[in-house]
Amino acid sequence: MSDFIGHECGVCALRLLKPLEYYKHKYGSFTYGIDKMHLMMEKQKNRGQDGAGFASIKLDTQPGERYISRARSKSKHTAIETLFDKIKTDIETSFEVFPESKKDIATLKKHIPYIGEALLGHVRYGTSGGNNKENIHPFLRQNNWMHRNLIVAGNFNMTNLQDQFQALINLGQHPKEKVDTVTVMEKIGHFLDDAVNKIYKDLKAEGYSKREASPLIAERLHIHKILKRSSKDWDGGYVIAGLLGHGDMFVLRDPIGIRPAYYYHDEEVVVIASERAPIQTVFNAPFETICELPPGKVFIVKKTGDIFQKKVLKRGENKACSFERIYFSRANDTEIYRERKKLGQLQTHEVLKAVDSDLENTVFSFIPNTSETYFYGLLEGLQNHLADSQKEEILKLKIPDEKALNTIFSRRIRIEKVPIKEAKVRTFISEDLDRDFMVTNSYDITYGTVKPTDNLVVFDDSIVRGTTLKKNILRMLDRLNPKKIVIVSGAPQIRYPDCYGIDMAKLKDLVAFTATIELHKERGNYTTLKEEIYQDCLSQPDSGEVKNCVKALYEGVSDEDISDKVSEILSKEHIKADVKVIFQSVRNLHKACPKNKGDWYFTGNYPTNGGNKIANKAFVNYYKGFDLRAE
């Protein structure tokens, strides 16, 4: 990926089903759970580097003993390290002060922080609110009543945050912040309070004392009902994980499965996380034992260790985000690896066409690191093509002689490591400036890999803004003097903003959008069309069905016209070589990634009403020249 996009968060919820002594005895450490969480978070680092957080709950503590621990770090890019350094130091220091805790579990629970049975971790790329420590998950809603303590961490973005916020005010609340995680948490918290109150009233009527009621509340608390009430009006993509003070754990997934969640359990642990491959590695769990949490369902682990799923929302048509497969998730998941390779392979024909099938004078490379797997797929396609042409040539030979065969078999696909990704250089300037500065310094090239008579094909997994390509990569590649540079995008043209978790909220930032605008300007219909779309956006109702008015912009403009214009925009300044950009087709995307049908950023087909609203808002921002995220 040449453009950086802030995007997903990663969650991991872990419940140790055996007593803590069990893990000490079997694995030699009381910190077994924490170590597993550390690994799970590290392996989901790709999903969030603005901050990281951890919370845990100790089961069955005595009144007055701390049973909730939480730590958070906002050290950008090193948050996980910093977080676990702190956790480990705190634990070691406490063991030094209370050495007897190493022998007696009751003492350990009393004195040593973080070591608990229910654990929750989060890696964050923020989409709402800034990157201050307060916005790092897990969020905590504390109460003196154990059951009302709520800890929340999520991978989510709601399209109707304003309405949600207003709904809280209508419920009589006075939210302390407008950050989306607070809104979500307060909503759940409101119905949790309500449920606990009701259960307590029932128990009182049944003659139980307050103390006797406590364990019964835990038993009778139906999390799925609380979540059903809380999520009734949520419009967005979400995986919300939570812990209740007494030790219940839950993970809820949105009804069309936009955001991913996987789970695994055996007799020792239950783990739910954003990605499957980390679970496979960290728990040495075979692929087929890890399941996807069905959309609209909540996965619950009760304090008792009972595990079950409940339907919370009516499941809709699968709209799992295809960007998860293209870029966000780690490529070592067996399915994702296969899909990315397929995406690369499906570009073979277009790539060959772009270089007139001249393999002798074409060098192939990729933009590190996330495009590597695609590249292997393209190579397979090219190798097949080469083998076919070799076969044809051999069949054409009347008498196969050694010289002719040598010539045929000496043909190779020329692979070189051309672009090199630089290590991140940290600066002290503000984020936007930082981004621009980094862009022009983020890639280098290997000299001597390309001749002036060569075409240079470089694979990129997706092109969002095209800024790094334009400002850095193409300029660097051009220094090698190739006659033609072909940039291949594994993803289709990104034409619409995302609103379910990816930081692509401004239309003007998308190079495919800018290219289309340029085309309309050239054709002389820009001003009228812009006005029409703007008026159409304004005429959409506040509630009820809303259409995506931005779609009109792409009518009558072919994919190829947009690709050619993108090529022109990217190479406008200072590029000597002929530049061609090739994008994946949406059809091929679905062929390669059949399980992830969410494609709104390419097609404008938003799966929820909120998505259409955001697209229209983004256009209004563009029209008015506002440099704002549509949310």
Ligand X SMILES: NC(=O)CC[C@H](N)C(=O)O
Interface residues with ligand X (CB under 6 A)? 8-9, 124-129, 135, 154-157, 180-181, 501
Phi and psi torsions of 263, nearest 5°? -140, 160
- Measured from the CB atom, is 183 or 493 closer to ligand X? 183
- Measured from the CB atom, is 180 or 454 closer to ligand X? 180
Distance in Å, CB of 132 to ligand X, minimum = 11
424 φ/ψ sector (left φ>0, alpha ψ -120 to 50, else beta) = beta
Give the count of beta carbons closer than 10 Å to the beta carbon of residue 175: 15
- Measured from the CB atom, is 128 or 373 closer to ligand X? 128
Query: What CA–CA distance (Å, rounded) separates 482 from 329?
Result: 33
Residue nearest to ligand X (CB): 9
Distance in Å, CB of 627 to ligand X, minimum = 20
The secondary structure element, H or E, covering residue 544 is none
Distance in Å, CB of 274 to ligand X, minimum = 9
Distance in Å, CB of 592 to ligand X, minimum = 25
Torsion of Cα atoms, 112 then 79 then 282 then 114, to 10°: 10
Q: What is the largest CA-CA distance in the chain?
A: 101
Phi and psi torsions of 270, nearest 5°? -125, 130
- Measured from the CB atom, is 181 or 608 closer to ligand X? 181
Distance in Å, CB of 129 to ligand X, minimum = 6
- Measured from the CB atom, is 4 or 98 closer to ligand X? 4
Query: What CA–CA distance (Å, rounded) separates 221 from 628?
Result: 42
Q: Under a CB-based contact definition with an 8 Å cutoff, are residues 351 and 359 in contact?
A: no
The strand pair at 414-415 and 362-366 is best described as parallel
Distance in Å, CB of 377 to ligand X, minimum = 28
Closest CA to 277 of 160, 373, 134, 180: 373
The strand pair at 362-366 and 455-460 is best described as parallel
What tokens appear for 75 in the block?
């050290």
Q: Under a CB-based contact definition with an 8 Å cutoff, are residues 184 and 135 in contact?
A: no
Closest CA to 240 of 313, 303, 307, 289: 313
Closest CA to 490 of 348, 392, 620, 283: 348
The secondary structure element, H or E, covering residue 444 is strand 443-445
Distance in Å, CB of 187 to ligand X, minimum = 14
Distance in Å, CB of 556 to ligand X, minimum = 36
Distance in Å, CB of 90 to ligand X, minimum = 24
Q: Under a CB-based contact definition with an 8 Å cutoff, are residues 176 and 246 in contact?
A: no
Three-state helix/strand/coil letters over 107-147:
HHHHHCCCCCCEEEEEEECCCCCCCCHHHCCCEEECCCCHH
- Measured from the CB atom, is 50 or 248 closer to ligand X? 50
- Measured from the CB atom, is 117 or 509 closer to ligand X? 509
- Measured from the CB atom, is 181 or 489 closer to ligand X? 181
- Measured from the CB atom, is 156 or 283 closer to ligand X? 156
DSSP code at position 61? P
Cα separation values, 432 from 76, 123, 427, 435, Å: 15, 22, 12, 5
- Measured from the CB atom, is 255 or 260 closer to ligand X? 260
- Measured from the CB atom, is 377 or 501 closer to ligand X? 501
Distance in Å, CB of 435 to ligand X, minimum = 18
Distance in Å, CB of 506 to ligand X, minimum = 17
- Measured from the CB atom, is 243 or 359 closer to ligand X? 243
Query: What CA–CA distance (Å, rounded) separates 412 from 554?
Result: 41
Distance in Å, CB of 115 to ligand X, minimum = 27
Chain centroid, CA 435 distance in Å = 20
